[in-house]
Amino acid sequence: MKNRYFALTVFVLLFFASGLQAQKLQWKSMNPNTTTKKYSTLLFLINNFYVDTLNMPKLVEKAIVATLKDLDPHSAYISKKDVEKANEPLVGSFEGIGVTFQLFKDTILVIAPVPGGPSDKVGILAGDKIIKVNGKNAFGPKINNDWVMNHLRGKKGTKVVVGIYRKGISHLLDFTIIRDKIPLKSLDAAFMLNKKTGYIKLNRFARTSKDEFDKALDSLKRLGMKNLVFDLRGNSGGYLSAAQGIADEFLPNGKLIVYTKGIHSPRRELKASAAGGFEKGKLIVLINEGSASASEIVSGALQDWDRALLIGRRSFGKGLVQRPFRLPDGSVVRLTVARYFTPSGRWIQKPYNHGVEAYYDDLEERMKHGELIHPDSIHFPDSLKFHTADGRVVYGGGGIMPDIFVPWDSARYDEMYANLIRKGVFNTFVNEYLDKNRSALHKEYSNIEDFEHHFQLSDESFDEFLSDAGKVGLKPDRKTLAEKKAFIELQMKALIARDLFNQNAYFEVTAPLDHGINKALQILHDKHIFEKMKIQQ
């Protein structure tokens, strides 16, 4: 408890020094003898009487970090030298291994691999913990943002070996990653699923997302799009302004998109403005347990106004708003200042009263309880019941529940498939195959449509893939392999397409076996579901 008060007074002292007018109002109710004056006296005593020489700025930084950990899982401190790097996933680009991460208990926790980046290609997963980097321990007091950047970033083409701890596996998993230019476009794919149905996949809400989305929307409309499948699966959020701008494309002028409020933040409403690019037409939004924050703002607003049908699994559950405050030395505190609510009044934040570790272990708990497979395992109390504009029942607390459930396809991603990815078998085969056939493939397939409809791997190529697996000690069970051969070959084809064409091509090739997309198409072909559920068209 002493450490908590110690940390809190540091934070309060620095915030006072930053001269924020809104915060000055709070000093009147604070007793300086037990807060600011107490801590400044402590700093004086330590600096002048402590037995050893100390790095006082570093001591203060540690106290700030400790304080923020005690508040909520999303308030964070960013040192001056890390401010620019922290914004890169939303505004820039860099060369490295391609992961977003958080330092959690002196360990590098992977929040998510950047789609299409080096880590994604070798099978790094959200929730993995990086324990070793090139044989060196990557945990403990020495691990900070600077250490991570120095060891994981580097020039394109250089190699780094990371040791990963993954829950459920007793030994460390080694991954060899070739650094690359990290793609930071927020829009992964946009193409036509059929003559009337378009598909857009957004991986985060970045500064450029609205422009990227508008261009994709216009392109699909020119191709004859009447229906849209908007994929927010795995989208962990981003800028609130980007979420507002994209939601605005679907909602009429004046419709509430989201409102925020907090003890020190008066209610603020964000509404749709002028005519949007897709206010008419059947709209389906795909969400899952990786859809968070801005993704939940958009999907929640569209569900509340009965504008879209939501398909998938319960979203992450982040209903807190962070605001950056610059401290006197140029560092930044991203402080949770308000809660956000969907138009119906839902607050969808999942509980965090059991600590940060339990908060981030929520996905594992969902798996244990069978929630990702059976929707009946999800229970909401009546106190969290709300209603959409047309009277449908929806619930707050712990994420956005979709209108139609699609179970996690665990049969596909079993241990065998995970090991093939982790050991780099897919990448090895694709790289060698393209080294031999790239020129011929470019001559034969001038576009992704030709490739998708006519390219097929030979049995000899599949045998080469198995040979690559054997070289790294993997001997897939023949029966299991036979059952999954079509899926594995589709993944190989998609990876080849991504290399030959672009990221968009990967999703075009895999779409036929995507359960969420197939469910969306099935529903779009049913003339009555939208009417039955009172969804606008």
| CATH number of the CATH domain containing 390 | 3.90.226.10
> Are residues 168 and 194 located together in one domain of the fold?
no
CA distances to 253, 411, 429, 470 from 391, rounded to whole Å, are 21, 37, 53, 58
Looking at the structure, tell me whether residues 48 and 169 fall in a common domain: no
Q: Clarify whether residues 299 and 223 are in a common domain.
A: yes
Closest CA to 90 of 312, 239, 281: 239
**CA-CA distance, 329 to 82, in Å (whole number)?**
12
**The pLDDT value given to residue 327:** 92
Per-residue DSSP letter, 170: S
Which residues are catalytic, by number? 293, 304, 318
Domain shared by 224 and 301, yes or no: yes
Q: What is the pLDDT of residue 250?
A: 97
Instruction: Give yes or no: residues 131 and 266 share one domain.
Output: no
Taking alpha carbons only, the member of 178, 188, 202, 177 closest to residue 116 is 188
This prediction's pTM: 0.78
Q: What is the pLDDT of residue 411?
A: 60
Q: Please identify, among 408, 440, 474, the residue that sits at the C-terminal boundary of a domain.
A: 408
Strands 180-181 and 173-178: unpaired
- Residue 446: inside a domain, yes or no? yes
Looking at 408, 430, 458, which one is the last position of a domain? 408
Order the strands of the 404-405 sheet from edge to edge.
187-192, 197-202, 227-231, 283-287, 309-312, 404-405
Strands 385-387 and 393-395, by their bridges, are antiparallel
pLDDT value for 501:
85
Does residue 526 lie within any of the structural domains?
A: no
Look at residue 127 in the predicted model and tell me its pLDDT. Answer: 73
In a domain, 534, yes or no: no
The amino acid present at 434, given as its one-letter code, is L
Per the structure, the count of domains in the chain is 4
Q: What is the pLDDT of residue 82?
A: 82
Q: Which residue's structure tokens are 């807190």?
A: 320
Q: Domain boundary at 144, 165, 181, which?
A: 181
Which residues is 287 bridged to in the sheet?
312
How large is the angle between the packed helices 240-248 and 294-304, nearest 10 degrees? 30
Which 8-state DSSP code applies to residue 400? P
End-to-end CA distance of the chain: 56
Q: Are residues 253 and 366 in the same domain?
A: yes
**Is 56 within a domain?**
yes
Identity at 426, one-letter amino acid code = F
**Based on the domain organization, do 160 and 269 belong to the same domain?**
no
89 DSSP assignment = H
Instruction: Bin 531: left if φ > 0, else alpha if -120 < ψ < 50, else beta.
Output: alpha
Looking at the fold, whether 396 and 447 belong to one and the same domain comes out as: no
Residue 513 lies in a domain: no
CA 142 – CA 147 distance, rounded (Å) = 8
Note down the domain range covering 169: 93-181
Alpha carbons 388 and 395: distance in angstroms, whole number: 10
Same domain, 389 and 438: no
Residue 536 lies in a domain: no
- Note down pLDDT in tens along the chain; length 537 residues: 434 433 333 333 333 333 344 444 455 567 888 888 898 899 899 999 999 999 999 999 998 888 888 899 899 999 888 887 676 666 545 788 988 787 876 889 887 787 778 998 898 987 788 999 999 999 988 888 889 888 998 888 999 999 999 877 888 999 999 999 876 789 999 999 999 999 999 999 998 899 999 999 999 999 999 999 999 999 999 999 999 999 999 999 999 999 999 998 899 999 999 778 999 999 999 999 999 999 999 999 999 999 999 999 999 999 999 999 999 999 999 999 999 999 999 999 988 887 777 787 787 778 777 788 877 777 777 778 999 999 999 989 889 999 999 998 766 667 788 888 888 888 888 878 887 898 899 899 999 999 999 999 999 999 899 888 888 888 877 777 777 888 899 999 999 998 888 889 999 999 999 999 999 999 999 888 988 888 887
Nearest C-alpha neighbor of 520 from the set 533, 508, 511:
511
Q: Is 117 a member of any domain?
A: yes
Q: In the prediction, which pLDDT does 412 show?
A: 64
Query: Do 228 and 294 form a contact (C-beta atoms < 8 A)?
Result: no
Residue 329 forms part of a structural domain: yes
Torsion on CA atoms 82, 87, 91, 94, rounded to nearest 10: 40
> Are residues 272 and 419 located together in one domain of the fold?
no
> What percent of the chain is helix, strand and coil (3-state, nearest 5)?
40, 20, 40
Task: Please indicate, yes or no, whether residues 476 and 343 belong to a single structural domain of this protein.
Answer: no
The H or E element that residue 269 is part of is strand 265-271
**Residues 64 and 130 reside in one and the same domain:** no
